[in-house]
Structure 1
């Protein structure tokens, strides 16, 4: 009997994703060069750049730099019998936690390959990803990890038996990073399930020489880090918080502008002048409320629309195009609330 899986809860799916993460930079092509190509070559180029853009553009913000450093520091001591550390990646919805997690998984995979050139021949699985379901039990959690490796899951196995199998798989696979996503589901489970699952994770990671990374939201205020067992997770992990960017100071406005320019460069639109989006920086912040995930969704949707239109001379993101693209419900709600507050303030004045 298998457990339901998430978007990359299988080894092969995750490996395919990690191998694509390392090759996601645009090929520099001028508008004139593009127009000189055959129709077939233009179509192939458009398909490739659309795939690259749709696969998620990652901009290295200070938070991602902190995350990379936290992983490297934890990886340096992962071999020790005691004193190993992990990472808690926390952030509100739409702050890009999944994108950040995939990015650091790609970093870990590249680092593993560099240290183990024969990793494929030796059967290494550099990164393991498991998504925590609601009402998770320890036995269910170990079953999900067995599913990730493609190992059989026997319903009558005990938690201890499954844990031994998972521990052996990690050891044989020389895994470097284990990502537990949606960890807030663990904190929201009933007391018995939460304690059993948390204890199972703790016991497993005590036995496995890999870096654990726990991803979720509101973890600092949840029982995952605050009850008796949670305090042990908190004391063993470096926290990295993903938040929305603001533009209240010149330094923060400069950071926001740098993020916009970086996105623009990664899009590689043929008729987009360098830094043309900077004139819309304030508008982009108002639309997204500083959410990197919302900004990515807005700009990539605009770019994909322009490419699909098939007019290279018109590949320019305008404010009108941006205004025509709806965002996720959370971002739209925040924008509506901000507009209502602004309107109320103008009436009061």
Structure 2
């Protein structure tokens, strides 16, 4: 629980925008601080509000507003997509929105020990017992994984969710669970029990879950879930390419590079699409490293601006 709160509370202040003239008037120490602040903001503080992120948070908050904890099998959410598409980042943002929502209704919820949102990640080779065990680990509740039965662990997890007044349970990396065969049926039944009896809205997230949750036992879960799919920008039509270009320009503006013109990344939109396959997570990583290199090269080149060499060097891809 403390780990999630640290991620939610890690507010990185957006630095002021300095002109080249203002920057040159700063001391060397002030310039270094400004460089660090810009890089931290772009890499870790900036929220890329994609259509999928807006859809996820809107769906989550809407379900909270109509949620009845005493009802059985209330609706949930499935978030699915390929790796490096930004699912976990979107889930942490959803968790932050849920805590803000709860704080408006019970400002002292942290002081009274409430946890409006619980967030767990399934580890490789996770078993059905791992679901309940991970929930107990989130709250820091000691338990015996080996000696306790799956039923006992699930009862403990359900009790913890109720006592902490958890209104949303996020289960990430769900593909790590074996979801087919007998073990898969047991895992799905555990998820169904938690969804039915916890009083919390369940968010199931992972890679290509629509295939993993296609068994007959999973149908009862899927029937009560709204699905949000996060897809890469493929650029195969004018609409997709327009969204990609807008995203590139937005990120370029957020860098606050001293000598960059507006829309300075626009000429590299196609290169970046090729380098990233349209995946936002990869795009953020490449641009953050390119930005750091542009700042490092400033003293040698005289200009602080991203070039094609910065992008190609970071992405390790040849461009004709």
Question: TM-score, structure 1 length as denominator?
Answer: 0.82
Tell me, yes or no, if the aligned pair for 2:15 and 2:37 is still in contact at 8 Å. no
Offset at 1:98? 1.8
Aligned length: 317
- 2:102 aligned with 1:112: yes
How many angstroms apart in 1 are the aligned matches of 2:166 and 2:150? 21
TM alignment of 1:1-349, pairs within 5 A: 11-20=1-10, 23=12, 25-55=14-44, 57-80=46-69, 81-82=71-72, 84-154=74-144, 155-186=146-177, 188=178, 191-222=181-212, 224=213, 226-309=214-297, 311=299, 314-326=303-315
- Give 3-state SS (helix, strand or coil) of 1:129's partner: strand
Is 1:57–1:296's contact at 8 Å kept on the other side of the alignment?
Answer: no
**Quick check: 1:25–1:266 contact (8 Å CA) kept in 2?**
no
SS state of the match for residue 315, structure 2? coil
> Relative to 1, partners in 2 of residues 1:199 and 1:56: Cα closer, same or farther, differing over 3 Å?
farther
Contact 1:136–1:194 under 8 Å retained in 2: no
Q: Secondary structure at the match of 2:223?
A: helix
Q: Is the 8 A contact 2:249 2:265 kept in 1?
A: yes
Superposed CA deviations along residues 231-280 of structure 1, whole A, max 9, x for unmatched, are 01110110111111133333322211110111112222222222111122
Q: Secondary structure at the match of 1:55?
A: helix
Cα shift at 1:213: 1.0
Query: Does the CA-based 8 Å contact 2:80-2:207 persist in structure 1?
Result: yes
State how far apart, in whole Å, the 1-side matches of 2:15 and 2:101 are.
Answer: 23
Unmatched tracts of structure 2, length 5 or more: none
Separation of aligned partners in 2, 1:253 and 1:26 = 30
SS of the counterpart of 1:192? helix
Going from structure 1 to structure 2, the CA distance change for 1:151 and 1:297 (only over 3 Å counts) comes to same
Q: Distance in 1 between matches of 2:252 and 2:68?
A: 41
Distance 1:127 1:29 in 2: 38
**Alpha-carbon displacement from aligned partner over 1:275-324 (angstroms, at most 9, x marks no partner):** 11112222222222322222111111111223345649532111121111
| 1:67–1:313 Cα change, 3 Å | farther
CA contact 1:50–1:307 (8 Å) conserved in 2:
no
Contact preservation (8 Å) 2:12, 2:44: no
Q: What's the TM-score, normalizing by structure 2?
A: 0.89
Rounded Cα–Cα distance in structure 2 between residues aligned with 1:14 and 1:62? 24
Residue 109 of structure 1 deviates from its aligned partner by: 2.3
